[in-house]
Amino acid sequence: MSDFAKTKSIFHLPEGVIYLDGNSLGPLPKATPDNIGNMLTNEWGEMLITGWNKADWMGQPSRVGDRIGKLIGAAAGSVVMGDTLSIKVYQAVSSALELNSSRKVVLSDNGNFPTDLYMVDGLLKSLDAGHELRLSDPDKVEESLSEEIAVLMLTEVDYRTGRKHNMKALTEKAHALGIIVIWDLAHSAGAVEVDLEGCNADFAVGCTYKYLNGGPGAPAFIYVAPRLQDKIRPSLSGWMGHEAPFAFDLDYRAGAGIERMRVGTPPVIALTALESALDIWDMVSMADVRAKSIELCDLFISEVEARCPELELNSPRDGENRGSQVTFKFNEGYAAMQALIAHGVIGDFRAPDNMRFGFTPLYIDESDVRAAVDILADVINNKLWDKPEYKQKARVT
């Protein structure tokens, strides 16, 4: 069995479904229910409060963080888990702004995921100190860099198009201008090779329910470069980031290193689900996953373009400049995606007209890609989408 046939066999994949939306929510690893069941019954149930030490729940945010660190080029002790990506964005931006306090501009691009922009907007309104959130087009980021910019915050892979920024080049250019850089790896971690240390990144954040298969609403991660960790003041200064959480001192003293980015009590059940899903990365290399992902995406593009001329590619054609997803534009994309889902191929839709498909070699292979294109071609070329039930807009996830 090939490595990817092995990894595919460890996921729970519903009968009759080709799942091309792992870029939104990864599927359930088969081992997860038992691992959680074990944690519930044998740890929480039997150890009760003593589980914090006996089962080392307390060490879980760092332990899991280190495992994710290996997938994104981060040294042990530089990644910690908790909260949600939105909260981690807030922590990173507020810390970065204080490190670069003589400057007042946060630069991002208008392809960034909205919650990142919303969190900055909320932070800047709270600070009420004359900051500006400035957005460039994604392809104009480099020319928008200047010594006015305090913080550059980018999502490496665009959630709609899969367009991938050049992390190393942009970080280098930004650093030369005294800018602190925050990378959102939501669509990168587990999808593409990331080398935070090699890029000399300052901060990175990401979620774990997409390519890391941690389950709906799984905890987020934050990376802080070791050279910065002890210089930052946590804005969200919770007791778990305190130097001595169980001394119950009245005054806050930031913990050592990455520990200070912890906030409240760790979400043990959710972290157990995630920890269980990370075992899969012992079976494959990130380089192999990336190479296979590009192959699958290339195959999908060539097949769709050959068979569905009405669809227009809205992703970079060169795999090196693309994440692990492919987007096609189609005027009736919303209805077409509903029809496609009804016919057993799950992708998703992003306004105004993007049909988005994620490809994850861990559980998607060439035969899935070909079968999905067969159904897509049927939906598009035979106008199967042209029914009222597909056109009616429900709440979209």
Catalytic residues: 113, 184, 209-210, 356
Sign of CA dihedral 378, 290, 361, 273: negative
Residue 328's DSSP bridge partners are 313, 355
Distance CA 97, CA 75 (A): 24
In the complex with a copy of itself, the residue whose CB is nearer, 328 or 349, is: 349
Minimum distance, C-beta of residue 237 to a copy of itself, in the bound complex (Å) = 3
Out of 234, 255, 323, 333, the only residue in the binding site for a copy of itself (CB under 8 A) is 234
Q: Which amino acid is at 223?
A: Y
In the complex with a copy of itself, the residue whose CB is nearer, 382 or 392, is: 392
Which among 172-180, 263-271, 284-292, 363-371 is the span making contact with a copy of itself, rule CB under 8 A?
Answer: 263-271
Contacts of 363 (CB under 8 A, 6+ apart): 7, 8, 11, 13, 19, 22, 27
Distance CA 320, CA 160 (A): 17
Considering only residues 310 through 369, tell me which ones interact with a copy of itself, judged by CB under 8 A: 341, 346, 348, 350-351
Considering only residues 100 through 159, tell me which ones interact with a copy of itself, judged by CB under 8 A: 110, 113-115, 117-119, 121-123, 125-129, 135
Sign of CA dihedral 53, 54, 55, 59: positive
Distance CA 352, CA 334 (A): 8
In the complex with a copy of itself, the residue whose CB is nearer, 149 or 240, is: 240
Out of 242, 292, 322, 356, the only residue in the binding site for a copy of itself (CB under 8 A) is 242
Out of 265, 291, 343, 353, the only residue in the binding site for a copy of itself (CB under 8 A) is 265
- Write each residue from 48 to 87 as x if it is in contact with a copy of itself (CB under 8 A), else as -, in one continuous string: xxxxxx---xx-----------------------xxxxxx
In the complex with a copy of itself, the residue whose CB is nearer, 164 or 350, is: 350
In the complex with a copy of itself, the residue whose CB is nearer, 64 or 199, is: 64
Minimum distance, C-beta of residue 264 to a copy of itself, in the bound complex (Å) = 3
In the complex with a copy of itself, the residue whose CB is nearer, 156 or 158, is: 158
The three-class DSSP label of residue 327 is strand
Distance CA 387, CA 384 (A): 7
Tell the residue number behind the tokens 């600070």, with chain if given: 127
Over its C-alpha atoms, the chain yields an Rg (Å, rounded) of 22
Pairing outcome for strands 345-346 and 18-19? parallel
Contacts of 79 (CB under 8 A, 6+ apart): 65, 66, 68, 69, 72, 221, 222, 223, 258
Minimum distance, C-beta of residue 142 to a copy of itself, in the bound complex (Å) = 21
Distance CA 95, CA 263 (A): 14
- Find the helix packing angle between 366-381 and 333-342, rounded to 10°: 120
Residue 153's DSSP bridge partners are 182
Considering only residues 213 through 232, tell me which ones interact with a copy of itself, judged by CB under 8 A: 215-220
Minimum distance, C-beta of residue 135 to a copy of itself, in the bound complex (Å) = 7
Is-contact 253 242, C-beta < 8 A?
yes
Is-contact 89 155, C-beta < 8 A?
no
Considering only residues 153 through 212, tell me which ones interact with a copy of itself, judged by CB under 8 A: 207, 209
Considering only residues 272 through 301, tell me which ones interact with a copy of itself, judged by CB under 8 A: 273
How many chain residues are in contact with a copy of itself, going by CB under 8 A? 94
Considering only residues 23 through 42, tell me which ones interact with a copy of itself, judged by CB under 8 A: 24-25, 27-28, 32-33, 36-37, 40-41
Which among 14-22, 63-71, 279-287, 378-386 is the span making contact with a copy of itself, rule CB under 8 A?
Answer: 14-22
Minimum distance, C-beta of residue 267 to a copy of itself, in the bound complex (Å) = 4
